[in-house]
Amino acid sequence: MIDYLDAFYSGLLNILPLTDHGTDAFIALLLGVAIGFVVGILPGLGGAVTLALMLPFTFGMDPTQAFAFLLGANAVTATTGDITSVLFGVPGEGISAATIVDGHPMAKNGEAGRALGAALMSSLVGAIFGALMLAIAIPIIRPLVLLIASPEFFMLAILGITFVAALSGGNMFKGLTIGGFGLGLAMIGLDPIQGIPRYTLEPLLGQKESLFLWDGINFVAITVGLFAIPEIIDLGVKGTGIAERASDKLGGVTEGVKDTFRHWALVLRCSALGTYIGILPGLGGGPAQWMAYAHAVQSAEDKSRFGKGAVEGVLGPGAANNSKEGGSLIPTIAFGIPGSLSMAVLLGAFIIQGLVPGPNMLDPNLPVRPDAAALGEFVPTGLELTFSFVWVLIISNIITVAVAFLFLGQLARITEIRGALIIPFILLLVYLGGFTVANRPQDLALVIIFGVLGWLMVKYDWPRPPMLLGLVLGRLAENRLFISTQIHGDFGWIDRPGVIIIGVIILVSLFFPSWQERRQRRRLRNADSHQPAPGAPIDGDF
Amino acid sequence: MAIFNLRLLPRLLFALFFTGLFAWMLWEAWFGFGQISAGAALFPIAILVPAVVIAALATVQELLKHRNSPQHEPTPIEADLGAAVPIILEPGVERRRTLVILAWIVGFYLGICLVGWVITAPLSVLLYLKIAGRESWVVSVSSAILAWLFFDGVFDCLLKIPLSERLTGIFIEQLQEALGIDVTRYVLVPFIC
């Protein structure tokens, strides 16, 4: 227990400006928060896209700085996204869309300040709740992780892809195909066991040009292409400015803050809901905010106020879309299964930093990178680094909310930036991001190829997250499969209890959603057959 | 009898692309590098056998799902995660705007390949804002200068990312050979460093 408390305290010290390395990490955190702040306010650019764009800049950083920078940026996008949702009725983030339903009518009713006060304060409470849940989960989850060996880790990687594939996009076959495509991309390059070149396209590109594929495909170039290029196309096609209306004068912010504490039970329940949904891989912030909104409506006495400017409709989603960050970090750190798309991109940062999610991240004594520690560099233990994530979530949200309260009026003006003004800058940043990882001109071509592929995937309703997950987990899964077959024989590892249990969960996660859909369709059919005749009054009209 | 809608052909081809790709990858694993090392082919075969089947099923599903659709509905432009508000546009307008923005994306890339990063960064911002954004000269030129200072000044000069060195551009390389001086590294970049 002392180890945990010690690591919890060290995790805080490592990101505060009290030591040299703490100062560096704190500056990285502030920089990340500033970027996340602006991105959150600008509609169209999500937290995951921001993380993808920022990944290349973490190469020169140590693990604490890198995660302070990335988590700081990611943690605040949902918070500031609520500002745009309330003021303009346009979600700053996909995960802050539910705030519009009651937040924007409040703004129209002249209660913009109250709505913003409620959204920001509930976001802060939610973020702290989620971070504390992460801290509490660590000692509980560690013994569980230590029971897991290579065969189970291989199965967990497949489970992660299956979860995300089955749950994203609503089409399981498409999701699994894309997950397989991601795993296929991870196979490109020299095989990790004997160094045999695989899929390096030598006959097509020639011997010299195909050499750049020997190191494997550039994860960052693919990520920025896949996610940022479709966003740029989207911005260009819409052809609109960021916001179509100018913001009104704000007032009543304190009242909104008080509302958060008046409805404290609702805020805590929605925070718990958000954390729980965050833990479930593949669901992300979208369902969290809507389930929290549904809970706010369902638990209210007067349901007729919702949709017209009920403050509870702002408090619920505000708390949930922030608390899910802490929740989604739990499976990401412990098992390498990302709880959301942002976490999938964050797994890329683990690779860049040379870290492996799992037991090492929860070890109170072992440096997270023993090689760097041996060279005398400052390296935190796995547990210290994990606890620093908790503190980053808390501190970045406190800073964000404080700044937002100070500059609320001026912040609203950012949304008036024309889309055309930011497109060339984002495009250059995308190419720069793809290039900086390996300084290879060929990676720019990868950005375009995967950008167009990502756009086609959006156009033809193919989910993108499973591909990223396959790409990130591919090498890890291959190593674990190889170790498993070497230790237990070709198929000897399949009858291990852990493997069987995870296999059953994979099957359930594959078939449960389609079974559920079929059941829902049958229910709808039954309801249709009992529908009243045209003109008859409809009961239960919400 | 239902007639196959030709407008759905791209969707079907897109689904078929994955099936074909997996089949080729499996062939390579089995009869290509798999012949050199069974260990190198273990993971690809374990993953690609089910992947081919699943991709084929996804293709069949795509075919059956859209076979009887009367026409292709305009697609809401929305990202699957992190999406903003879905906006429905007329297919013609959407197609034209998409082609324009795609041309700009490729144009930026070609610019980098031909005249290098140092020139492309400010020039592309200027051209985009003036032509596509229809901004004033003041806004366009000041943004171009900002882009030059930010991308070349911060990343090339301060962060030492070798943009001018590695992304020189074909034309500039030839010009440098002809003139015998390093145009970007010693002329353009030091100007702001």
Structure confidence by residue, pLDDT tens digits, B23-48: 999 999 999 888 888 888 889 999 99
Residue B54 and residue B159: Cα distance in Å, rounded? 46
What's the whole-number mean pLDDT along residues B48-56? 94
For residue A45, the number of C-alpha atoms closer than 13 Å in the C-beta half-sphere is 29
- Domain co-membership, B182 together with B108: yes
DSSP letters along A474-536, please?
Answer: HHHHHHHHHHHHHHH-TTTTTTSHHHHHHHHHHHHHHHHHHHHHHHHHHHHHHHHHTPPPTTS
Domain count, chain B: 2
Band the pLDDT of B88: cuts 50, 70, 90: low
- The whole-angstrom separation of Cα A533 and Cα A374 is 78
More confident residue, A253 or B83: A253
Q: In terms of CA atoms, which chain A residue is nearest residue B164?
A: A439
Residue A538, amino acid: I
Of the candidates B159, B163, B161, B152, the residue with the CA atom closest to the CA atom of residue B190: B152
Pick from B33, B81, B166: CB nearest A198:
B33
Closest Cα in chain A, distance from residue B20 (Å): 12
Q: Are residues B123 and B177 in the same domain?
A: yes
- Residue with token string 């911060």: B154
* pLDDT score recorded for residue B78: 37
Q: Kindly list the residues from chain A whose CB atom is less than 8 angstroms away from the CB atom of residue B128.
A: 420, 423-424
- Which chain A residues contact residue B50 at CB under 8 A? 180
Instruction: Give pLDDT, residue B57.
Output: 92
Shortest distance between the Cα of A126 and any Cα of chain B, in A, equals: 19
**CA-based nearest residue to A103, from A323, A314, A305:** A314
What is residue B93's predicted lDDT score, i.e. its pLDDT? 82
Contacts of B166 in chain A (CB under 8 A): 435, 439-441
In a domain, B136, yes or no: yes
Q: What is the 3-state secondary structure (H, E, C) of A415-474?
A: CCCCHHHHHHHHHHHHHHHHHHCCCCCHHHHHHHHHHHHHHHHHHCCCCCHHHHHHHHHH
Instruction: For chain A, 542 residues long, give each residue's pLDDT as a single digit of tens.
Output: 777 788 888 888 888 888 888 888 899 999 989 988 887 776 556 677 778 778 878 877 888 888 899 988 888 887 887 887 777 666 666 676 677 778 877 877 777 788 888 988 999 999 899 888 888 887 777 676 667 788 888 887 888 778 767 655 557 888 899 989 999 999 999 888 788 889 988 888 877 777 888 888 887 788 778 877 887 888 788 775 444 444 455 567 788 888 999 999 999 999 988 888 777 765 556 667 777 887 787 777 776 787 778 888 889 888 888 888 888 888 888 877 776 778 888 888 887 888 888 777 877 777 777 776 676 677 788 888 888 988 998 999 999 888 888 877 666 555 556 778 888 988 888 888 788 767 788 889 999 999 999 999 988 888 887 887 788 778 878 888 888 888 888 788 888 888 898 889 888 877 777 777 777 778 777 766 655 444 433 332 22
Residues of A in contact with B153 (CB under 8 A): none
Taking the CA of residue A301 and the nearest CA in chain B, the distance in Å comes to 30
Query: Which among A40, A241, A206, A65 is positioned nearest to A127, based on CA atoms?
Result: A40
Interchain CB distance below 8 Å, B101 and A237: yes
**What is the model's pLDDT at position A254?**
83
Total beta-carbon pairs less than 8 A apart between chain A and chain B? 220
Same domain, B107 and B174: yes
A423 interface with B at CB cutoff 8 Å: yes
CB–CB of A127/A394 below 8 Å? yes
Closest residue by Cα to residue A340 from A350, A351, A329 = A329
Q: Is A198 helix (H, G, I), strand (E, B) or coil?
A: strand
B61 and B138 belong to one structural domain:
no
Residue B73 lies in a domain: no
Q: Which residues of chain A lie closer than 8 angstroms to B46, CB-CB? A: 481
**What is the SS3 assignment for A197?**
strand
Identify the pLDDT of residue A195: 84
CB contact under 8 A, A199 and B25: yes
CA distances, A253 to each of A83, A123, A250 (Å): 12, 14, 8
CB neighbourhood size of B12 (10 A) = 18
Is the model more confident about A377 or about B146? Answer: B146
Per-residue b or e along A187-199, where b marks 16 or more CB atoms closer than 10 Å to that residue's CB: bbbbbeeeeebbb
- Which of A99, A173, A220 is most worth mutating to test chain B (most B CB atoms within 10 A of its CB)? A173
CB A39 within 8 A of CB A73: yes
Contact A278, A130 (CB under 8 A): yes
For chain A, how many residues are written?
542
Q: How far is CA B130 from CA A216, B125, B138, B152, in A?
A: 39, 8, 10, 21
Identify whether B72 is part of a domain: no
Say if residue B111 is in the same domain as residue B59.
no
Q: Which residue of A has its CA nearest to B11?
A: A460
Cα B1 from chain centroid? Answer: 40
How far A328 CA lies from chain B's nearest CA (Å)? Answer: 15
The closest CB to that of B14, out of A193, A341, A460, belongs to A460
The pLDDT of residue B2 is 52
What the block records as the tokens of A231 is 């966003």
Q: Tokens representing A309? A: 């400017």
Closest chain A C-alpha to B6 CA, distance in angstroms: 15
Inspect the interface and report whether the beta carbons of B80 and A458 lie closer than 8 Å. yes
B108 in the same domain as B152: yes
pLDDT at res. A244: 44
Gap from B190 CA to chain A (nearest CA, Å): 20
Q: Which residue, chain included where needed, has tokens 């912040």? A: A411
DSSP letter assigned to residue A19: S
Q: Is the predicted pLDDT of residue B50 greater than 50, yes or no?
A: yes
- Decide if A465 and B104 are in contact by the 8 Å CB cutoff: no
DSSP of chain B = -PPPPGGGHHHHHHHHHHHHHHHHHHHIIIIIHHHH-HHHHHHHHHHHHHHHHHHHHHHHHHHHHHTT-SSPPPPPB--SSS----B---HHHHHHHHHHHHHHHHHHHHHHHHH-HHHHHHHHHHHIIIIIS---HHHHHHHHHHHIIIIIIIIIIIS---HHHH---HHHHHHHHHH-S-IIIIIIHHHH-
Distance from the A494 Cα atom to the nearest Cα atom in chain B, whole angstroms: 13
For A26, the token pair is: 């704190």
Residue B87: strand pairing partners: B77
Pick the residue from chain B with its C-alpha nearest to A57. Answer: B159
Classify residue B74: in a domain, yes or no.
no
The one-letter amino acid at A513: P
| pLDDT higher than threshold 90 for residue B128 | yes
**Position B39 in a domain:** yes
C-alpha distances (whole Å) from A204 to each of A36, A210, A446, B40, B173 are: 41, 8, 15, 21, 26
Chain B contact for A421 (CB, 8 A cutoff): yes
In 3D, which of A277, A244, A299, A317 has the Cα closest to residue A79? A317
Residues 432-491 of A with CB under 8 A from B: 432, 435-436, 439-441, 444-445, 447-448, 451-452, 456, 458-460, 462-465, 477-478, 481-482, 485
Task: Using alpha carbons, select from A48, A392, A447 the residue that is nearest to residue A217.
Answer: A447
Residues B174 and B107 in one domain: yes
| B167 belongs to a structural domain | yes
Q: Which residues pair with A321 in a beta bridge?
A: none
Q: Which two tokens stand for residue A308?
A: 């017209």
Asked if residue B172 and residue B130 are part of one domain, the reply reads yes
Answer yes or no: is pLDDT of B73 > 50: no
Is 50 exceeded by the pLDDT of residue B77? no
From the list A94, A420, A428, which residue is nearest B81 (CB)? A94
CA distance B178 to chain A (A): 23
Output b/e per residue, A130-144; b: 16+ Cβ within 10 A.
Answer: bbbbbbebbeebbee
Q: Max alpha carbon distance in chain A (Å)?
A: 80
Residues B187 and B103 reside in one and the same domain: yes
Alpha-carbon distance of A60 to A51, in angstroms, equals 16
Cβ atoms of A124 and A315 closer than 8 Å: no
Q: How close, in Å, is residue A407 to chain B by CA atoms?
A: 24
Domain range for B128 is 99-192
Q: Which residues of B touch A284 (CB under 8 A)?
A: 81
pLDDT at B81 over 50: no
Number of residues written out for chain B: 193
Q: A185: which strand partners?
A: none
* C-beta of residue A330 within 8 angstroms of C-beta of residue A386: no
Residue B84 burial (CB count, 10 A) = 26
CB distance A420–B135 less than 8 Å? yes
Residue B79 lies in a domain: no
**Residue numbers in B near A47 (CB within 8 A):** 82
Cβ–Cβ gap A176/B54 under 8 Å: yes
Among B48, B84, B139, select the one facing A90 at the smallest CB separation.
B84
**What SS3 state is found at A148?**
coil
Residues on chain A touching B30 (C-beta within 8 angstroms): none
Please judge whether A481 and B57 are an interchain contact, meaning their C-beta atoms are less than 8 angstroms apart. no
